[in-house]
Chains A and B, each alone.
Chain A
C-alpha cells in the first residue's frame, strides 16, 4: 500500500520546547488515519509540518513523494492545491458570503465560467446540507454550520489529501453525527486520503482505518482501532477510556495543595 504522507525521524522544537522527538509515521493513500492524543501534544503542529507552514529541525516530511521543507515557495503553493485542511475554527473569510467562501478556491485556481462555478458550489453546499445558506455571511452561522461550510470549501477542488483539525470539538450530537458521516462518505466516494486529528476517541475510532496516538512528543501507540482497544498499555488505556487515574497526571506539576494553602 502506497503512503501519501511520510514523516521520518522528525524532531521539532518551538520556543525551546521539544514538541516531537524523533517521530516517524505513515499515512496510507485512500485511507482515514487518525492522530489522537491529549491536548497540547502537538497534533495540530503535525498538520503544520505536513502543510509546510512549519519546518522540522531534523528529519523528513514527504507529501506525495515531495520533501515539503525543501520545496521553494512557488512549488509549495503548487503542492498545497492538492491538499486541504479543515481548521478547528473553520477559518471562513469573514468578508465573503458562504457561497463566495466555497467559490474562493475555484475563482483563484481555475478559469471556469460563472455558471459552472455556481453549480459546483451549490453541489458542495448540498453535500453539507447548506445549499439554502449560500447568501448568509459567516457571522450569521452557528459553530456547526460554519464547520460544515468550511468542509464544503475544503473539498470544492477535489483535493488528494484532506486534513481535519479537531472537527468534532464544540459540536452538538447531531452535528457530530453528520460530520462523522460526511468524513466517511467523502473518503469512500472521492478516494481521498484523510487525516483526522482529534481527541474525540469514539468518533475517531469509529471511522478510522489506522490510528496513531501521540503523547510527550512521541508515538505511544499505532494500529487499527481494534488493535488499540485490545492493547494493555496503561497510558493508552487511560486516554482511550478517559480514566482519571493512570500514568498521565491530570494536574500540572505543582507543590502539594496543603503545603501551598496552609503555608
Chain B
C-alpha cells in the first residue's frame, strides 16, 4: 500500500517533534553538566582536609596511571623512530629521525595518547566509583548530612585530573623520546650526537612544549568533567553504571580527538 499524503505529513511531523525533543534533552543535559562543572570547581571551606583529599586523588588518578602511560610512551617512541627511519632513509635524511620523533610526540602523540589512555584508565574508574557511590546511597547520605558531594567528592577528583594529565603527558613525552633514541641510536645505528642535536635545534620551548601542555590541560578538564558527570548522572543500577562507564570512554575519546583538531588550528593560528 502506498503511503498517502496525510500519512507522510504525519511521519514528517512526528520526526520533527522527536528531533525537537532530542534537541531540548541535549540542551538540558548540557545545561546540567555546565552547572555541575561550576559547582565542582570550588571546594568550600578549609584548606587542610581538601588538600589531603586532592593529594589522594593525585595518587589515584596520576600515580596509578603511570605504568600504562610510561610503557605506552616508550613503545610509541620506538615505533615512531622505526617508521620515521624507513621513510627518511630513502631521502638520505635519517639523521633527522630524532627531530621527527620529538616534534611528533611533543605536539601530537604525547597530549592525545596520554589523554586517551587517561580516559580509559582513570576516567572509567572515576565514573564507576562515583556511580557505585550513588547506587549505594553514599552520595545521598552525604547530602542528608549537610555535606555537598559536589565539593567533597567531585571537586578533588576534578582538580586531581587537571593536575595529573599534563604531568602524565610530559612523562609520556620523555619516555617516547627515550624510546625513539633506543631504536634509532642503539638498533639502527644513527649517530647519537645528531639524534639529540637535531632535536635540540628544532624543538621550541613555547611552540612545542608549552602548546602541548596547554592541549593536555584542556583535555584533562574535559575528560575529568565527562567522567565525574557521568558517574553523578548514572542510573543507580549495575546496568546504569556499565552504560555510564562506556559513555565516559566513548565521549571522552571523541572529545579529545575533536578538540585536538580545534586546538591545533587555534594554536597554529589557523583560524
Contact = CB atoms under 8 A, between A and B. Distances in A.
Contact of B144 (A83, A89, A94): A83
Interface residues of B, number: 13
Contacts of B152: 108
Given A89-B136, A107-B49, A78 B146 contact: yes
A85 B141 contact: yes
B138 A94 contact: yes
A91 B141 CA distance: 6
B145 A104 contact: yes
Contacts of B147: 77, 104-105, 108-109
Contact of B136 (A78, A94, A108, A109): A94
A157 B148 CA distance: 17
B25 interface: no
- Interface size grouping (class) on chain A: 20 to 34
**Chain A interface helix/strand/loop/mixed:** mixed
A85 B147 CA distance: 13
Contacts of A93: 138, 141
Nearest to B132: A94
B140 interface: yes
A108 B138 contact: no
Nearest to B148: A77
A205 B145 CA distance: 28
Nearest to A85: B144
Interface in A39-76: 51, 53, 73
- List 6 A-B pairs, minimum CB-CB distance, nearest first: A91-B137, A81-B146, A91-B141, A80-B146, A85-B144, A77-B146
Given A87-B140, A89-B137, A104-B145, 7 more contacts: A53-B143, A77-B148, A80-B145, A107-B49, A108-B145, A108-B152, A109-B147
Interface of A: 51, 53, 73, 77-81, 83-85, 87, 89, 91-94, 104-105, 107-109, 157
